Amino acid sequence: MLKGCQQHHNPMEGQKSSDYFLFACVYFLEGILGLSGIGLLLFMKEELGLSIAQVSVYSGLLALPWVLKPVYGLLSDYFPLFGCRRKSYLVLAVVFSSAGWITTSWVSTLVGFLAAQLLVDIGIASLDVVADGLAVQKSTDKNRGFIQALCWGSRSLGAIIAGYSGGYLLGYLSYRHLFQLTAIFPLLLLPIIALVTEPKPKRIIFSTAPYITRKIWLVILFLFLFFATPSFGSPFFFFLNEQLGFSPVLLGSLTSLASFGGLVGAMAYARFGDRYPVRPMLTLLVTGNLLLTMVYLLVIGPASASVIYLVNGFVGYVSLIACMSLLAKNCSPGAEATTFALATSIVNFAGNVVSPVLGGALLPLLGLRALIVCAALSHLLALWSLRYVR
């Protein structure tokens, strides 16, 4: 048995630990910023006076900076700042994000709130792009799956802590004080960024050649259809809060459970993901998502909600990591951030903009239960697109 274990490749071999540490910390930050997730939803409804449908729509519009990821990728790939393609932009992204959270704690109008949160998302989205560029740049066939699992597993760990802590802290802090606390976390990345090493930037000639191959476009088609399902996240949050009487602490615990499921999913993929063909795995995962979405109709209390959130977190992260690994494998050398960002921006547009806006528009017409059924059945389109994925 020991002899067999020695034959396994060490995915960290040949890589600096500071690189992996940065990847883990950036994604952990994305997860820990969910500390204000519950507070933001309640702030929008209670202090800004938005309806549940409006909360869903505006949440989608606030995700627009994630659609502009190719712009951030182009900047970091082709326009080095202070002699660095990555580090300088990482610092700017951290400052933007922190400033956005501070501004959010001051504003009292919808326009001011939207502007502040757009600044937050610009910072985090650009941070994500530059870190992705580094991750893809340092990926090989032997460690690609490990790096993606490390990144998304770290995000899950941050979200686990943020979910419960965010709900708990709302019992002691105002929304605005919680936003100010959240502003501290991006700044903690600054000393870690200082440890990152990157080669002296070479002059890269901009090319109009397509960054994305036909194979990746087919994967993107599947991802778009998979993530563009009508979202019922915000309406279901308020259903749990107002109809079933779930407290902020309990709602935060559900978020943590989903993130824990995601962490287990990331660990499982890192261990077993490369052993199975992608297409059969995704067929199983999409079918599972369809069935699990329908199960939301059966939520009647904390126990049923806990099981559903946990399993959904696991299935969601396994499918996400599998697809991100496939995208990373086909990125254009020398323009890693741009290629990966161009692909994922389309996915982000589907999941973070189209999905909540569509859900918010359909909610007044269908009601929550019919919206859940519609979201479940829309997974059939993703299943159809899988015939073209290899």
Each residue's pLDDT tens digit, 315-371: 887 877 777 776 666 555 555 556 666 777 788 788 888 888 899 889 999 999 999
Question: How far apart, in whole angstroms, are the C-alpha atoms of residue 104 and residue 113?
Answer: 6
All residues at 6 or more sequence positions from 307 whose CB lies less than 8 Å from its CB, including other chains: none
Section 125-133 average pLDDT: 74
Backbone angles phi, psi at 84, to 5 degrees: -130, 140
Which single residue is written with the structure tokens 């082709």? Answer: 78
pLDDT at res. 144: 61
Section 67-85 average pLDDT: 72
Angle between helices 69-78 and 110-137 (to 10 degrees): 50
- The answer to whether 131 touches 90, Cβ cutoff 8 Å, is yes
| Tokens of residue 189, six digits | 């990345």
Which pLDDT tens digit goes with each residue over 164-210?
788 888 888 888 999 999 999 888 888 877 776 665 655 554 454 44
CB burial readout 325-360, b (16+ within 10 A) else e: bbbbebbbeebbbbbbbbbbbbbbbbbbbbbbbbbb
What is this structure's pTM?
A: 0.69
pLDDT at res. 5: 37
Q: How far is CA 276 from CA 271, 279, 284, 295, in A?
A: 11, 9, 12, 27
Question: How far apart, in whole angstroms, are the C-alpha atoms of residue 33 and residue 101?
Answer: 10
Which pLDDT tens digit goes with each residue over 151-177?
777 887 888 888 878 888 888 888 899
Q: How far is CA 271 from CA 76, 146, 148, 300, in A?
A: 32, 8, 12, 35
Q: Which of 129-138, 206-215, 291-300, 338-347 has the lowest mean pLDDT?
A: 206-215
Which pLDDT tens digit goes with each residue over 296-308?
999 888 999 999 9
All residues at 6 or more sequence positions from 179 whose CB lies less than 8 Å from its CB, including other chains: 36, 39, 101, 102, 104, 105
pLDDT at res. 335: 54
Q: Which of 102-116, 264-278, 283-297 has the lowest mean pLDDT?
A: 264-278
Distance, CA of 140 to chain centre: 23
Q: Domain ranges for the chain, please list them.
A: 16-197+209-388
CA angle in degrees (0–180, nearest 5) for 359-362-366: 125
Half-sphere exposure of 221 (CA within 13 A, CB side): 15
pLDDT at res. 13: 46
Specify the DSSP element, H or E, that contains 106.
none
Task: Quote the strand ranges of the chain, DSSP E.
Answer: none
Section 285-311 average pLDDT: 89
Q: Which of 73-87, 156-170, 217-231, 234-248 has the lowest mean pLDDT?
A: 73-87
The answer on pLDDT for 32 being more than 80 is: yes
Specify the DSSP element, H or E, that contains 67.
none
Section 258-279 average pLDDT: 78
Of 144, 124, 19, 129, which is closest to residue 85 (Cα–Cα)?
129
Question: What residues form DSSP beta bridges with 81?
Answer: 84
- Does domain 16-197+209-388 sit in CATH 1.20.1250.20? yes
Q: How far is CA 228 from CA 86, 198, 319, 358, in A?
A: 31, 36, 15, 8
Backbone angles phi, psi at 239, to 5 degrees: -65, -45
Question: Between residues 132 and 42, which one has the greater pLDDT?
Answer: 42
All residues at 6 or more sequence positions from 367 whose CB lies less than 8 Å from its CB, including other chains: none
